[in-house]
Structure 1
Amino acid sequence: MKIAFDPPHTALLAMDCQTGIVSVYATSNDDFIMRASGALTAARTAGMLIIQVQVGFRPGLPEVSSHNKSFAAVKSSKPHQEFFQGTSGAIHPALGPEPTDIIVTKHRVSAFVGTDLEMLLRANEIETIVLFGIATSGVVLSTLLQASDADYRLVVIADCCADLDMELHRTLLERFFPTRAEVITTEEFRDCLNCTN
């Protein structure tokens, strides 16, 4: 699939690609990292804005309510908290961040909730968002829905998404995401950028 990109008005969001998360969710870490790294390199070379989104919390997780079913489990477990700290909580070293990348730290599933992501996108006159990350049914789905409602043009790099539920992963990528975004592979993304440049 050939998509025409306008790099100065396009942002690539690499979401929750933290070392610990990659080790749990990506069935073949090396292949996932190779594809994600390739997509990031192509986007940086094309001059796109790179935004690395990561999950992070203050000590004791004051951002998390006991009413939040997902994150309350993290708050009540010291090992789960440590999962998002140190080397495990850092963006995978093969993916950056590079000095020009912007890092957004979130405390919920969506990259938009409680962050300055929307401000960053508007300030940089971004019209198209390219998304990938872990998990497909988590941050990718939540962020895509909010971005769609905000009228961004959306592209999902399918083979740079991962999930523990493979059936749900496939359903989202093959049936649901195409109703709101273009869904392409890393190779197609790089080919599109080569045609754009």
Structure 2
Amino acid sequence: MKSALLVMDVQRSVVDLTDAGPEFLHRVRRAMDGARSAGIPVIHVTIALRPGFPEVGTHNRALSAIAQAGLYVEGAAGTEIHPEVAPLPGEVVVTKRRASAFSGSDLDVVLRARGIDSLVLTGIATGAVVLSTLCQANDLDFGLTVLADACLDPDPEVHRVLTERLFPQWARVLGVDDWAGGLAARRDRS
């Protein structure tokens, strides 16, 4: 299997709104460093909506609330990837228009072009982008791993239930250290 690490919605405004502290950003960074050392592509996924929010329908409660608050407008400073987890030159940045990393983006095209059939998921929020992407990726037959401690939700109970009860039905759920340690052990055996 050929994997990619997805770093999803770790943007300035999302980090600020969820109070994602330096420990969380450090864990995401460790996952990115582990992936890069193992030759696993790191793909950054951001949410950005067009000015005026033409892609937001009135029936979509979550996006309607985002539009009313004026959040995640394409080109605004808050939509930038947080500098602690900034992409390296040449790393792909995908812009999505909905909760799932696949919705309104070219993520599937990028993955298929690279022959990637397995995804490692990180991001904010566990109950939004991570859950939506996991469901869609599962339906698309990707192998899946969720790095539970590199995912964050404003509601700790939502995060716990998803990572302990729901996600294990579809994916391996690991911590960053276990995942990165496994990568290093494979590299050492080679």
TM-score, with length taken from structure 1: 0.90
- 2:58 corresponds to which residue? 66
Equivalent of residue 23 in structure 1, options 3, 16, 24: 16
Shift of 1:77: 3.3
- The yes-or-no answer on 1:175 pairing with 2:168 is no
- Report which stretch shifted further, 67-76 or 36-45: 67-76
Equivalent of residue 147 in structure 2, options 142, 149, 157: 157
- 2:45 corresponds to which residue? 53
TM-score, with length taken from structure 2: 0.93
Q: Deviations over 1:149-191 (max 9, x none)?
A: 1111100001011111111110100111011000001101110
Equivalent of residue 116 in structure 2, options 115, 121, 126: 126
Amino acid at match of 2:182: C
Aligned residues: 187
Q: Deviations over 1:102-160 (max 9, x none)?
A: 01111100011111111111111012100010000100000001111111110000101
**Percentage of pairs with the same residue:** 42
Amino acid at match of 1:59: P
Aligned-partner SS, 2:111: helix
Structure 2: which 5+ runs fail to align?
none
Shift of 1:65: 1.5
Equivalent of residue 111 in structure 1, options 101, 113, 129: 101
Structure 1: which 5+ runs fail to align?
1-5
CA contact (8 A) 1:136 1:161 kept: yes
Aligned-partner SS, 2:181: helix
- 2:91 corresponds to which residue? 101
CA contact (8 A) 2:55 2:97 kept: yes
Cα RMSD (Å): 1.5
Amino acid at match of 2:6: L
Aligned-partner SS, 1:76: helix
CA contact (8 A) 1:13 1:52 kept: yes
- Report which stretch shifted further, 133-142 or 57-66: 57-66
Shift of 1:81: 4.9
Judging changes above 3 Å, is the alpha-carbon distance between structure 1 residues 81 and 110 closer, same or farther for their aligned structure 2 residues? closer
